[in-house]
Amino acid sequence: MSQKRAILKRATSEQWQRRIEEREAKVRSAVEHRVEETVAELRARHAKILKAITGKAVEALKQLPLTSAMDAVRALDIVLKQERLLHGEPVADGVRVNVAVQPTVGPPVPAAGDLGDYMQRLMEIAQQQGLIPTTG
């Protein structure tokens, strides 16, 4: 008997193919289980972070005047979008997330230190467009 036939006969009698497929299935199952656990841990961690940011942003909104509350509003907007994504819900016009929240009218949003001038400029634009009444 040739070596090739001997190997084939032994492989058939010991069911090598079936045993290999069973091992591969076990490995695949273990990997899928680990991936599911990792994703669940990741989502839990993200939810915890989002909850903390929400608390800070809400607290900032309560304490800050309107002109300096824009960062808190931006943080809340980002948190809400991220929570929707985390739960598989659509965000705005699909799954796209615009992290940098920019107004559609007016100057671009500045750094946190320049919010006073920015809010003043937005008020002027709103008055010019008749969105709010002009003051005295």
pLDDT tier at 13, thresholds 50, 70, 90: very high
Res 43: pLDDT: 82
Res 99: pLDDT: 42
φ, ψ for residue 127 (rounded to 5)?
A: -70, -40
3-state secondary structure of 15: coil
Q: How far apart are CA 110 and CA 74, in angstroms?
A: 12
With 90 as the cut, is the pLDDT of residue 14 above it?
yes
Show the DSSP H helices in the chain as ranges: 3-13, 16-63, 70-86, 115-128
Q: In Å, how far are 23, 45, 59 from 36, measured between CA atoms?
A: 20, 14, 35
Residue from 31, 77, 82, 85 nearest 57 by CA:
77
Please state the pTM of the whole predicted model: 0.44
pLDDT tier at 21, thresholds 50, 70, 90: very high
